[in-house]
Amino acid sequence: MFQVRTTSAARRVANCSARFTVIKSASRGFATVSNISPTRTHRVVVIGGGAAGLDISHKLLRSGKFSQDDIAVIDPAIWHHYQPGWTLVGGGLKTKEELRRPLNSLVDPKFKFYNDSVAGFSPKDNSITLGNGDKVSYEQLVVVPGISINYGSVKGLSEALADPKSHVSSIYNYDTCDKTFDTIQRLHKGTAIFTQPAGPIKCAGAPQKIMWLALDHWKRAGLYDPSNPSSSAVQISFMTGMPVMFGVAKYNAALEQLRKERGVEGYFQHDLISIDGNKATFVLPNEKEPVIKQFDLLHVVPKMGPHTFVKNSALANEAGYVDVDDGTTRHKKYPNVWSAGDASSLPTSKTAAAITSQSPVLVHNLLQSLEGKTPEAIYDGYASCPLLTEYGKVLLAEFKYGGEPKETFGDWFGIDQAIPRRSFYYLKKNFFPWVYYNHMVKGTWGGPKGWTN
């Protein structure tokens, strides 16, 4: 998962439209000066300094096959964020500041770091064009810039998010993830709606993670009684553009049962399209009339998709993602181009955990390619979602292609990971953020396989 990066809070301005400018730029903190080397040719160019970009570039460096500036990393961001932690921020468990680092502090000095954007690709002549117009050439190209969040997919969302007095928030943005907990704390009576859009998003479990934490908060505050939800001060609805709670059958069954047991009203295939005051409008497939719901709290997950510079390039498939083989992560047309993470066409969940299994495959195959050998490593579609179901418990979903469970602790200890557990909660809250910054971004974490050299 290529993490969202933002500018600092000091750059926010007071008026609504300017504040939304900050929100729209949350996925990139653009630098005004590019550090361009006189020699702009590299053996490997990695586009993206997020989870995938840092993990892959450092794994390549640790192979011992590259010298100073052989590997280049390109990214315009100033900050690197541990975005999976924003759910914890939204639930009041962490501060957003503790989950970010200056990007340049995470880039190994042996890399050539271009703190600039990408304007375009020229795969036929093995080069890319930077935002400032300069060209960078490569032998091998790794395209891992993640995906962008489309706030314009919901009319009125930008204004609602930027208004500190509104009860609309989103954990998918650095500037608003802490607003989420503020709105949860301020709600003492009324209707709370949590949304999820149709289509691919980063961490498909996150939209309901924050709902479960909010439910538990209101339960502890005496505002919600799962055994008698209709008589509770707070009413809770999950309105999703998807047909189910979760895309993997085993975990969907567990979460659907949880939804019913806790009295959460479920609206499926309801896609949010606009916000007007305290009214949210949803559309349904094959239905002419929209559904309008009043709310006192609204948590929104906007639609997401590939960055324009990827979508409009020769590297993209029809959906706009980098068109790579599902197993080798190699581009289907250009053999010296690779992709993983959110920007890739790999048909699995877009999570940081998925990257831990994709990166070793990509790195191994790229190194094989440099030696003139045929890529042989195969990615099996592994992804994971540590799904918070309340304060103190997590359902740890792990699966591979085809929605088949691939449970680490189930294999080791024979336990059912569809049952929320306290031990998994501490993995999510404490271990994963620690191992991310201490090992994953340095290329020494292999997910279920543990530490690597």
Identify the CA nearest to 208 among candidates 185, 239, 181. Answer: 239
Identify the CA nearest to 36 among candidates 146, 160, 138, 134. Answer: 134
Helices (H) and strands (E) in the chain, counts: 13, 22
Radius of gyration over alpha carbons of the chain, in Å? 22
401 Rama sector, left if φ>0, alpha if ψ -120 to 50, beta otherwise? beta
- Residue 177 annotated as catalytic: no
Q: CA 296, CA 183: separation in Å to the nearest integer?
A: 9
- Residue 203 annotated as catalytic: yes
Q: What is the DSSP letter of 375?
A: P
Which pair of structure tokens corresponds to residue 360? Answer: 């070793």
Q: CA 145, CA 53: separation in Å to the nearest integer?
A: 7
Q: Which residues of 21-56 are buried (b: 16+ CB within 10 A; e: fewer)?
A: bbbbbbbbbebeebebeeebbbbbbbbbbbbbbbbb
The string of DSSP codes covering 256-312 is: HHHHHHTT-EEEET-EEEEEETTEEEEE-TT-SS-EEEE-SEEE---EEEE-HHHHT
Within 63-200, residue ranges assigned H as helices are: 86-90, 103-106, 157-162, 177-186
- Catalytic-role residue among 363, 385, 397, 440: 385
Q: CA 328, CA 111: separation in Å to the nearest integer?
A: 25
- Catalytic-role residue among 22, 203, 234, 322: 203
Return the active site residues: 203, 385
